[in-house]
Amino acid sequence: MFLHVTKITYLGDYRLELEFDDGTAREVDLAPELYGDVFEPLKDLDLFKQVYLNTDTCTVEWPNGADFAPEFLHEIGKEVKKIA
């Protein structure tokens, strides 16, 4: 099953609340995932806060080109609510 992120809310630090097209919202803490050439720059909170929804790929993305697969984000996130 392919998942799509439909909404992003910045919560603070390296945490995001993400709404998915399966009707769930999940809180994701990306701090442990910020390693490697593409993700390391996101440790700068000013850059991390520039997260946006790429409507072509339906996932989170940053201006430096970093992104995460929606399925991965769904898997590591904690469900916070069901969306009607």
Rounded CA-CA distance 38/19 in Å is 24
pLDDT tens-digit series, residues 53-65: 999 999 999 999 9
**pTM of the prediction?**
0.92
The residues with which 15 forms a beta bridge, in sequence order, are 12, 29
The structural domains of the chain, with segments of one domain joined by +, span 5-82
Note whether 28 and 81 are within 8 A (CB).
no
Note whether 73 and 26 are within 8 A (CB).
yes
pLDDT tens-digit series, residues 12-56: 999 999 999 999 999 999 999 999 999 999 999 999 999 999 999
Thinking of the domain 5-82, which architecture would CATH place it in? 2-Layer Sandwich (3.30)
